[in-house]
Structures are given as C-alpha cells and as structure tokens.
Amino acid sequence: MLKLDLSKLSAFLPEDYLTSRQAGLEKAAAMLANHDGPGGDFTGWVYLPRDYDKAEFARIQAAAEKIKKQSQVLVVIGIGGSYLGARAVVELIASPNYNLKKKDTPDIYFAGNGLSTDTLQELIEIIGDRDFSVNVISKSGTTTEPAVAFRIFKGMLEQKYGKEGARERIYATTDKARGALKGLADGEGYEEFVVPDDVGGRYSVLTAVGLLPIACAGIDIQALMAGAAQAMDELGQGGLDNPAWQYAAARNALYEGGKKMELLACYEPAFRFFAEWWKQLYGESEGKDGKGLFPASVEYNADLHSMGQYIQEGERLMFETVVSFAPKGEFTIPHDPANVDGLNFLAGKPLAYVAEKAMRGVILAHVDGGVPNVLIQMPAIGAKSVGYLIYFFEYVCGLSGYLLGVNPFNQPGVEAYKKNMFALLGKPGYEDMKAALEARL
C-alpha cells in the first residue's frame, strides 16, 4: 500500500544509519507492542484497528444515519486531538469543498477550536434556520474553547427544539466514566461515545472522536479501519525492511545530523488539514525535554511560489517528507493553435504526467539545495489508503519518540497557557497567579 523512497537521503546520512539504530528500534517496537515504555498507558492505539469496540462502532454508524436524517448541518465541537483528526479525514477524502458539494449528508462545521467571536457569529449565520445537530467531543469536558462553544450551541438547540428535541440532537464523545461532559451527558440523557482511557487525543482519530464526524460525511469508516488494520499487521512485523522502522531511523539520524525541522509536503490541496493533524501528532509527541524536530507543512505547487525560495536557499535546518497520491481521474492538456504560452509541447499529455515531473524536479532541486527528501508514495486517496497512512504516521511517531528518548504520549507543555488563561480570567483557585501575571502585562 505504501512505498517509502529514501534514495534521496544517501548524501546526507551515514551508511549505517539504520543498522546502528536496530537495537533502539527493536526496543521501541517491543515497548509499543507490550505497552510498557514511557507513557505505555496511552498506547491503546497500537492494536485499536483490531480491538476497537465493535458494538460502539455499530452505534456510530447508526448515529451517523440518524444525524443524516434529522439534520442538514452537523456542528462538531472540539479542539486539538478532539478535532484535527476528524477534519483531516473529512477534508482529505470528502474534500475541503465538502460543504459546497451536492450530497445527501449534512454540511459539517467545526467549532470550539478557538475563541474568535467573528468566527462563531459567522457560523451561526451560516447555519441560519437549517436543522442542525451537535457532536461535542471533549475527554475532560472542561477545555475552555469547546466548553464555551458547547454552551452556546446547546442553548441554541434547546431554544429551537426544546429540551427533549435538543437531547435527540446532541451526541457527546467523552470519557467513559469521569469528567464534566460525562456528568452533563449522563444527566441530560445525550447519546454518548467513548474516548478510550488508553488513547491520547492526538492518537484518537480512529476512535469515536474521529469516526462519528467522518461517518457523517458519508465516508466508509469500515474501510478506514481496514486500511489501518493492514498497516498494523504489516508494520508490526518489524525488521530493517519495515518502512516504519526505516523512516523513524532516518528522521532520528537527520535530527542528530543537525536537521531541526521536518517539512511535510503534499501536492494535494485536500491534504492541508491532514498536515495539521500530523503536526499535532509529531509536535506534541516529540517536542519536549528541549528536543524534537519542529513539524511544519507546505502545500505544493502553491507554496513553491511562496516558501520555495526559503526551502531552496534559506537556513539549512530542514528535511522534507513528501506524500504523493496516485490521481483518481485523468485530465489531458489541450492543444492551443495560438500557443502564446509556448506549452503546446505538453498538449495531449495527462495533467498527472506534468504533476509527476514537477514533483520529481522539485525533489532534485531541494536535494541539490541541501534539503534531504523522503518520498512516501500512496495509491489514490480513499478510506482504505488514508486509514493506512494514519496508522503509518502514528506508528512511526511512537517509534521516533522512543528513539529520541522522550515519552511520546504525554503533553505537559500544553498546560502552561491554560494556567495563565485561567488565572487572567479570574478562575477561582488562581488568585495568586492572577496578581503575579497582571503585574507583568
């Protein structure tokens, strides 16, 4: 399913970069398989494509059907790991233009991932008087951004449909036993889905967190899981010919060799939010203890005309990972009798042929400019291939974190801003901190 091409790294890496990491990779793979490495309590994602809750999965499919019947719009409320995976998959498979398409599934809007008054107001206007449902996703239920948005949309639903009607339109994805949203959902009688205890937010796209919104977009979640399961089976075999081992070793060797940034590049604009998901996955997993590659992304060809200059000739701090998908259809470049643009030498050629040559040309140029390139080749974008890719990146991330010597499954740094925000907002219990921070403003 996935072809990893590391041939453009040879000039940048020692020959033994893989073999010298074999012991580390074996240890990392064993820790993931046995859940006994740092953060092992959060490695439930490793066997999730096989061990997922089948009864809940059927309820997710049923809820998606119900939402489709009862609503023209679904508002998905969540932030970070409770948001990015669903949006990534919906945009990549169903298109960033999904809401503009003619379809028999609801428009999907994502809310609660910021505190912008303008954005919230605009969304309320866009929904207008259409029927809508809400999927609120929060493990804790106390994350400020989604909690504020949920207050607002819950109020709107209750005003529009009454308390009973609202109950039929609110779907809560949260902890199975604890937390503010769990208590509220139990009390109000909302249909509930579970964020498993052993799966952290950034690894949760293949749980109800991602699957319910993804199913609502009409995407085949069975095929998504099947793709992930194939990756789980293949990558779990280990060995030096395993692409996950090879990629993790290469990333680690490039980092140790002085590259401080990984640039994820794709020629599909629909990939944009997948890259956002990937950035959280790698940024939160590796960026700690003063270490870690900085994950960044570019959208080609557009960014070749904006970021291209820096990538080619700026500070030599990055390597590039290019994800390439086979095209789904075919376009042929037309002949133009006037040939004003001089492009008739391409007439009759498929657009995909031009795109392929562009990609190959960019890779060679960037390698010549001192930017090592990794190429990941995938079949056409679809539920199965995307499921495979999700698991591939998750698995490589786990291996990479352990090779780097960090706990890839915690995120202590995310708390700092939250504490400051609560203190400045006057949350009870933060009084001393509030005074100290205000003195610094």
**Least Cβ distance, residue 140 to ligand PA5 (angstroms):** 3
Cα angle: 243, vertex 249, 250; to 5 degrees: 90
- Burial environment of residue 378 by CB neighbours within 10 A (0 to 12, 13 to 18, 19 or more): buried
Q: What is the Cα–Cα distance from 206 to 208, expressed in whole angstroms?
A: 7
What does the alpha-carbon distance between residue 182 and residue 171 come to, in Å, rounded to a whole number? 11
362, 305 Cβ separation under 8 angstroms: no
Asked if 410 touches ligand PA5 (CB under 6 A), the answer is no
* 140 is a site residue for ligand PA5 (CB under 6 A): yes
- Which among 221, 171, 167 has a CA at the least distance from the CA of 194? 171
160, 418, 431, 438: which one is catalytic?
418
Which is closer to ligand PA5, CB of 227 or CB of 408?
A: 408
Shortest distance, position 402 Cβ to ligand PA5, whole Å: 18
**Interface with ligand PA5 in residues 167-206 (CB under 6 A):** 200-202
Q: For ligand PA5, give the closer residue by CB, 61 or 140.
A: 140
Q: Candidates 33-41, 77-85, 127-135, 315-323 — which segment interacts with ligand PA5 by CB under 6 A?
A: 77-85
Q: How many residues lie near ligand PA5 (CB under 6 A)? A: 14
Nearest CB to ligand PA5, comparing residues 24 and 146: 146
Catalytic residue among 15, 305, 315, 330: 305
Tell me the closest approach of the beta carbon of residue 337 to ligand PA5, in angstroms: 56
Strand partners, 75: 109, 134
* 305 annotated active-site: yes
β pairing state of 170-174 and 191-194: parallel
Stretch touching ligand PA5 by CB under 6 A, among 43-51, 99-107, 140-148, 328-336: 140-148
Query: Which residues are 223's β-sheet partners?
Result: none
- Which of 81, 210 has the CB closer to ligand PA5? 81
Determine, following the binding rule CB under 6 A, whether residue 39 of this chain makes contact with ligand PA5. Answer: no
* Helix, strand or coil, per DSSP, at residue 220: coil
Determine, following the binding rule CB under 6 A, whether residue 81 of this chain makes contact with ligand PA5.
Answer: yes
Measured from the Cβ of residue 112, the count of other Cβ atoms closer than 10 Å reads 28
Does 79 sit near ligand PA5 (CB under 6 A)?
yes
Q: How far apart are CA 168 and CA 158, in angstroms?
A: 10
284 labelled catalytic: yes
Distance of CA 105 to the CA centre of its chain: 22
Residue 80 touches ligand PA5, criterion: CB under 6 A: yes
One-letter amino acid of 209: V
Residues that bind ligand PA5 (CB under 6 A): 79-82, 138-140, 143, 146, 200-202, 284, 411
- List, by residue number, the catalytic residues: 284, 305, 418
